[in-house]
Structure 1
Amino acid sequence: MSTVNLQKADAVPRSFQWQRYKYYYALLLPGLLYFLLFHYVPMFGVMIAFKEYKLSLGIWASDWAGLKWFQQLYTSDDFWIALRNTVIISFYKLAFVFPVPIIIALMLNELWSNKFKRVIQTIIYFPHFVSWVILGGILYTLFSPSTGLLTVIGISKSPLMDPETFRGMLITTEIWKEAGWGTVIYLAAIAGINPELYEAAKMDGASKLQEILRITLPSIGGTIVILLILKMGHILNAGFDQVFILYNALVYNVADILDTYVYRVGLAMGRFPLAAAAGLFKSVVGLFMIIVTNAIARRVGGSSLW
Structure 2
Amino acid sequence: MRTLLLLLIGSLGLLNAQDSHKDDTAIELQASTPCDEAMKTMLQIKESGVIDFIRWNLVLTPNNSFELNIKYGESKPNTMGFVIEYHQEIKGTFSTQKSSVPKGDIYQLSTGNSGLRLSLLKLNENLFHLLGPDQQLMVGNGGWSYSLNRKNPTRQKAAFPTLATATLTKATPYVAVFDGRTPCTELANEYAIPVSDECIKLKWRFTLYRDSVTLKPTTYTAIRIFRRAQPITGTWSIEQKGETVIYHLNPDDKKDEALQFLVGDDNVLFFLDKQQRMMVGDENFSFALNRKMK
Q: Greater relative contact order (Cα 8 A, min sep 6): structure 1 or 2? A: 1
TM-score range, shorter chain: under 0.3
Query: Which one has a bigger Cα radius of gyration?
Result: 1
- TM-score using structure 2 length: 0.23
Greater percentage in strand = 2
